[in-house]
Amino acid sequence: MDIIQPVRGTSDLLPADKAKHNHVIETAKQGAAQFGYAEMATPMFEFTEVFSRPLGASSDVVAKETYSFEDRGGTGLTLRPEGTASAMRAIISNGLTQSLPQRWFYAGPMFRYERPQKGRMRQFHQIGCELIGPASPFGDAEIIACGVHILKSLGVLEQTVLHLNTLGDSDSRQAYRTALIAYLEAYRNDLSEDSQRRLDTNPLRILDTKSASDKDILQDAPQLHRYLTPAAQTHFEAVKEALQAASIAWVDDPFLVRGLDYYSHTAFEFITDQLGAQGTVLGGGRYDGLAQSLGGPLLPAVGFAAGIERLALLGEEQAQPVPDLVLLAAEQSAEAAIFALGCQLRTDGYHVVSMLSGNMGKKMKAANKLGARFALIAGADELGRNCVSLRNMQDGTQTEVEISVLGNWLAQQR
């Protein structure tokens, strides 16, 4: 078709879709609020450095996969590809490092220039929680518990499995990284093409490979947990103990990794097998190094984000609100009086929708489609007697009611 299309990777949220999104957002917001997380919002674009600096060596990701542009003043700006960096920037630029901890919830659109797939749009939407300040392992546990609580509230928890790993502190990770590279170098030529490249760019991500032969090679690879410093080990044990005490089930996943240096300790993902390759529904972890990479102080923090589209795909359809009344003028001369009556009824708290086009048959049909409880019908006939007809759309009974007692009549029907 030659008609105008939405931009690739974007889509309209028609009322049924938007209702599902809103349900996800409202449920998550409420769940997060029970943990003390308050909703906030950052701008949808930032200076490009907010996203490029933390990525360091991998900053070609920003170059290739963000919507970056210069504004009219020549300033480099980027549409946010995620929420965490902006949240941390907001902590620093608002001087909130003196007012910790901060518990934040946010929801909104994010932008990534990627090949679209199901549950993976170029403009997509995320909810997220960030706990900034505490270094305690109970912070990690709290964030995970908050994710569990939200997924449970949405009725999708049982469709997911919680994968858990630790990345240790930076000493642990340095030591492990060296050992892993040394081991894999011996098999360099047997690795998949992708993994050979990753061996140079981002060796930890080889653990996340989809190649079967790579997985065979990884069978005997060094394990991260053997390289944990005592402090890192203690932290992870405490997180697990807390989860266990709260009866939160997980599977240990030593191959769950993060590529960037500012991550540390806990990493987790709630994964489903029902969305194809886009299996991660909610993911997060500790990112103690992020604030420093943004030029701030060392600031412990842990958080998660979840894709609203994916949660909506797993969740149920949401019912649209049903009007209490629909208004039908039998003839044009009655429209103004009916209009005024409708406005009064809305003031009284009723959900009232006008049927504006077509003959009586059409209006009734439209009213029926909306699922309205009552049709309020009036023509010169009724109005001459200061009355309106009220038709019960369920059983088809119709009664004439004096306008002066309409409020009482409706109240009795509740």
318 belongs to the binding site for RNA (CB under 7 A): no
Q: Which of 147, 382, 406, 410: binder of RNA (CB under 7 A)?
A: 382
Other Cβ atoms less than 10 A from the Cβ of 256: the count is 21
CA dihedral 109, 112, 116, 117 (to 10 degrees): -70
Q: Are 103 and 129 in contact (CB under 8 A)?
A: yes
Minimum Å distance from CB 26 to RNA? 25
Rounded to whole angstroms, the Cα distance separating 140 from 304 reads 10
Q: Which are the contacts of 149, defined by CB distance < 8 A and separation ≥ 6?
A: 31, 34, 35
Residue 264: CB atoms within 10 A of its CB come to 24
Pairing of strands 280-286, 264-271: antiparallel
Say how many residues touch RNA, by CB under 7 A.
Answer: 63
- In sequence order, what are the beta bridge partners of 76? 70
273 binds RNA (CB under 7 A): no
Choosing from 48, 102, 165, 209, the residue that interacts with RNA (CB under 7 A) is 209
Closest CB 204 distance from RNA, rounded Å: 9
Helix/strand/coil for 50: helix
Amino acid at 282: L
CA–CA separation, 401 vs 414, rounded Å?
A: 16
Q: Quick check: 165 binds RNA (CB under 7 A)?
A: no
Among 244, 394, 399, 408, binds RNA (CB under 7 A): 394
Tokens of 150: 């939200």
* Angle, CA of 197, 198 and 202, to the nearest 5°: 145
Q: Which amino acid is at 69?
A: F
Q: Considering beta carbons, is residue 188 or 210 the nearer one to RNA? A: 210
**Applying CB under 7 A, does 89 fall inside the site for RNA?**
no
Residues 24-83 that bind RNA (CB under 7 A): 51, 55, 58, 61-62, 65-66, 81-82
Establish if 18 lies at the interface with RNA (CB under 7 A).
no
Burial (CB count within 10 angstroms: exposed 0-12, middle 13-18, buried 19+), residue 336? exposed
DSSP code, position 246: T
- E strands in 363-404: 374-378, 387-392, 398-402
β-strands 352-354, 325-329: how paired?
A: parallel
Binding flags for RNA, 173-202, as an x/- string (CB under 7 A): ---------------------x--xx---x
Is residue 264 within the footprint of RNA (CB under 7 A)?
Answer: no
Q: Does position 17 bind RNA by CB under 7 A? A: no
Q: Does 20 bind RNA (CB under 7 A)?
A: no
One symbol per residue from 356 to 375: x for binding RNA (CB under 7 A), - otherwise; what is it? Answer: --xxxxx-xx-xxx-----x
Q: Which of residues 223-262 bind RNA (CB under 7 A)?
A: 258-260
Rounded to whole angstroms, the Cα distance separating 282 from 126 reads 10
The nearest distance, CB 292 to RNA, in angstroms, is 15
Of residues 81 and 242, the one with the C-beta less far from RNA: 81
Binding region for RNA (CB under 7 A) out of 26-34, 110-118, 221-229, 294-302? 110-118
CB atoms near residue 405 (< 10 Å): 11
Q: What residues contact 412, with CB distance under 8 A and at least 6 apart?
A: none
In the complex, minimum distance from the CB of residue 276 to RNA, in angstroms, rounded to a whole number:
2
Alpha-carbon 311 to chain mean position: 7
Query: Whole-number minimum distance, CB 30 to RNA, in Å?
Result: 26
Q: Binding RNA by CB under 7 A: which of 84, 86, 160, 264?
A: 84
Smallest distance, Å, CB 85 to RNA?
Answer: 6
Question: Is 218 an interacting residue with respect to RNA (CB under 7 A)?
Answer: no
Site string for RNA, 139-158 (x = CB under 7 A): --------------------
User: With contact defined as beta carbons under 8 Å apart, do 81 and 127 qualify?
Assistant: no
Task: Answer yes or no whether residue 277 interacts with RNA by CB under 7 A.
Answer: yes
**Is the Cβ of residue 129 or residue 260 nearer to RNA in the bound state?**
260
For RNA, the binding residues (CB under 7 A) are 1-2, 5, 8-9, 51, 55, 58, 61-62, 65-66, 81-82, 84-85, 112, 114-118, 194, 197-198, 202, 205, 208-211, 258-260, 276-278, 283, 330, 358-362, 364-365, 367-369, 375, 377-382, 389, 391, 393-396, 398
